[in-house]
Amino acid sequence: MKKLISFLSASAIAISLAVSAAPSVNAEPYINYAEALQKSIYFYECQQAGPLPDWNRVEWRADSTMDDFIKGGWYDAGDHVKFNLPMSYSAAMLAWGLYQYPDGIEKCGEMENYVNNLSFALDYLAACDLGDKVVFQVGNGQKDHTWWGPVELYDYGMNENGGYEGRPYYAGTKCSAAFGGMAAALAAGSCALKGHSDKTDYYLEHAENIFKIADEAKSDDEYQDSDASGFYRSSHFYDELFWAANWLYKATGDKAYLDKASSYIPHLDKELGSDELKYSWSMCWDDTMQGGMLLYAQNTGDSTYIARVKKHLDFLNSGANKLDGGLVYIDTWGCLRYAAASGFITAVACDTLDLGNESAYEDFYKTQADYCLGDNPLDQSFVVGYGNKAPKNAHHRTAHSSWNNELSNPTNNRHILYGALVGGPDSSGNYVDDRQNFINNEVACDYNAGFTGLMAKMTDKYGGTTVPNFPEPEERDDEFYVEAQMKQKSGSGVSLSLKFVNHTAWPARVVDNMSYRYYFDISEVIDAGYSASDVVVRVDRDQAAMYGEEYKAEISPITKYKDNVYYIEVKYPNGAAVLPISEDRQHCETMLALVFPNYQSGWDADNDYSNKDILNTEDAVKTEYITVYNDGKLIYGVEPDGTKPDVTNPPKPEKIKGDVNLDNKVSISDAVALNKFIIGVSKLNKNAYDNADYNSDGRINIFDLSGIKQFLPKK
């Protein structure tokens, strides 16, 4: 053992002396594709609408928009609309990732999560098939964008704006782009989920019916005339029909679908001023031509179309605009969605077609993947919750969890939107983590679609490890409390403003039977020969009653706590009296006055327990000396005898300094792993890196190795 430790120390000391002044010895960022895949899949659970499944892992989400005509599906982005055109594209790309790279998903242990999330979206898309027409959207984008708050309180927030009559749905027959996309997703899902689901025939049945409606109409008239056109206007529909027909051929083997695909080719986009099929763009929600072309080349083996695929890849690799660091830059708005989808298409093409020049294409898709994960001139990860420098303020209503319908309040998102790929850098390669910049910091289901499939490929090819005990419980801020203000103080009594606050976010919610207690000492009243029943209590304002009789506060009689300390309890049986949906509703004010018997002089506000924080300020103050209860159980504050709530934040898994190999113990294996990192023969993921920094100085070197030695057995 001594010899081994000596060897580890000696082999590490030379390099540690050279790098000990640097913040890190790992000049090239560690890329953990399995972790990125794990978190990207999780992001889709953050987007779930309707009744949440038992397997949903997001502690800050709950059932939402439960009155939708079709429940389920994914909210599109940072908003709360279900747009079926981009949703179907996203589901199809996830299905393709599973279809093409199941081994990468399986080997890192994410198969169950992947299948669950894909199936959740497909169930919704299938339910949108009404037989003779199809639903293509639920929710109105124009109205939805008038309120900024967590989706769990959507109905309350929209009602607060006035004129809300529920969420509409849009259905029809002349929506060939959306329906083609839906058919493609369901057909791709039926292919990908074979052996993982008993619903593959069900998905295929709806894929064929929706495709039939889309093909017969060959029109987007109803779609373009709807609310959808203001957000996801379709540029064309033959590309979606082509995309769907190729997937249906894969799913059924029916040559009629391949013939359909062939018939659409003359109608596909051409290069400007040319009859040549377009190659100079990227796979995305509005243009599935390149994905369809790759499938068609696979399905036919036709050298003409293999050459078309190669021409597109050559454009991406050497013809398109690139940023420093190698990111292909197709368009400004959400540039990373195009780069990730381009990387995925390139990887699939390399793995399924004989193209030549594979090494250049492999370099291309690896560069796109790595750029997203932090290997770029900014050393910036563009995936929330991944890497040491990750976005924190993605443009996302529920993750932000504002309590007053305000994009800038609070300053930072209250939740970690793990796995969300943000829009990315601007055309100059710059990026600012700014929630209000939705061009670069928006997130969306379609952004993560190609990215997820690409991470499955990269995990299959390069490996990686998922994060154990993911996701860790979040550190919660206070959800309920009282802000108090002394409005007036004199010998005859006090006048108080008591604002009961609901800033719930785990999840945002209505909680009935809430109450709080204001404590005061009546020693001076007793000394004057009076009793508690002689104290005059006056209610000067009940804000809750303004919203309706059903919301009004209940004010208790003066109640004894202990000795001469008494309290008044303000109760809200109906929790909807106070909600984190607007500036007015996020708190509910009760104005109370306590007056000495017979309005005589002698009241002493200085000895009242609940006044400790408010005596020497004119401002409203959050105070723990006014205690809050739910169903009579203390949940916030400290009672006069020192009693505190017996509920705490969920514990986080313990991080063990020195546990470099993440096996929840410190042993010689950790010393070996750390030594390998120091001498540059291996890398560490973020959790391992944090544990390896034994002395917490931000550096990894011989001194950390020495610290770990104390745990090793002595001989």
Same domain, 298 and 322: yes
Residue 349 in domain: yes
Indicate which CATH number applies to the domain containing 520. Answer: 2.60.40.710
Please report the pLDDT score of residue 403 as a whole number: 98
Cα separations in angstroms, 326 against 339, 454, 517, 609: 10, 16, 61, 63
* Residue 63 CA neighbour count, 13 Å, CB half: 8
Joined tokens for residue 689:
């890196």
- Which residue(s) pair with 555 in the sheet? 570
Indicate the SS3 state at residue 105: helix
Indicate the SS3 state at residue 44: helix
Please report the pLDDT score of residue 654 as a whole number: 55
- How far apart are the C-alpha atoms of 694 and 688, rounded to whole Å? 11
Same domain, 161 and 304: yes
Same domain, 329 and 301: yes
Asked whether the beta carbons of 474 and 416 are under 8 A apart, the reply is yes
Smallest CA-to-CA distance from 238 within 255, 259, 263 is with 263
Please report the pLDDT score of residue 713 as a whole number: 59
**Percent of the chain predicted with pLDDT > 90:** 85
Please report the pLDDT score of residue 650 as a whole number: 47
Residue 470 in domain: no
Please report the pLDDT score of residue 24 as a whole number: 36
Same domain, 429 and 559: no
pLDDT digits (tens, 9 = 90+) for 89-139: 999 999 999 999 999 999 999 999 999 999 999 999 999 999 999 999 999
Predicted TM-score (pTM) of the model is 0.88
Residue 498 in domain: yes
Same domain, 38 and 165: yes
Same domain, 47 and 21: no
Residue 689 in domain: yes
- How far apart are the C-alpha atoms of 549 and 658, rounded to whole Å? 60
- How far apart are the C-alpha atoms of 214 and 605, rounded to whole Å? 74
Residues of the chain with pLDDT under 70: 1-29, 647-655, 663, 680-683, 685-687, 696-698, 710-715
Q: Could you give the number of structural domains in the chain? A: 3
Same domain, 691 and 601: no
Residue 467 in domain: no
Cα separations in angstroms, 434 against 273, 340, 540: 40, 22, 43
Residue 568 in domain: yes
Same domain, 501 and 395: no
The H or E element that residue 634 is part of is strand 633-636
Please report the pLDDT score of residue 460 as a whole number: 97
Please report the pLDDT score of residue 683 as a whole number: 65
Indicate which CATH number applies to the domain containing 207. Answer: 1.50.10.10
Same domain, 22 and 39: no
Same domain, 26 and 42: no
For the annotated catalytic residues, the residue numbers are 79, 395, 433, 442
Burial of 330 (0-12, 13-18, 19+ CB in 10 A): buried
Phi–psi pair at 319, nearest 5 degrees: -105, -25
Task: Give CA angle at 42 (128, 156), nearest 5°.
Answer: 60
Residue 115 in domain: yes
Q: 3-class secondary structure for 252-302? A: HCCHHHHHHHHHHHHHCCECCCCCCECCCCCCECCECHHHHHHHHHHHHCC
Range of the domain at 544: 480-636
Instruction: Read off the DSSP letter of residue 316.
Output: I
Please report the pLDDT score of residue 568 as a whole number: 98
Same domain, 315 and 269: yes
Same domain, 172 and 56: yes
Residue 644 in domain: no
Smallest CA-to-CA distance from 386 within 113, 45, 653, 35 is with 35
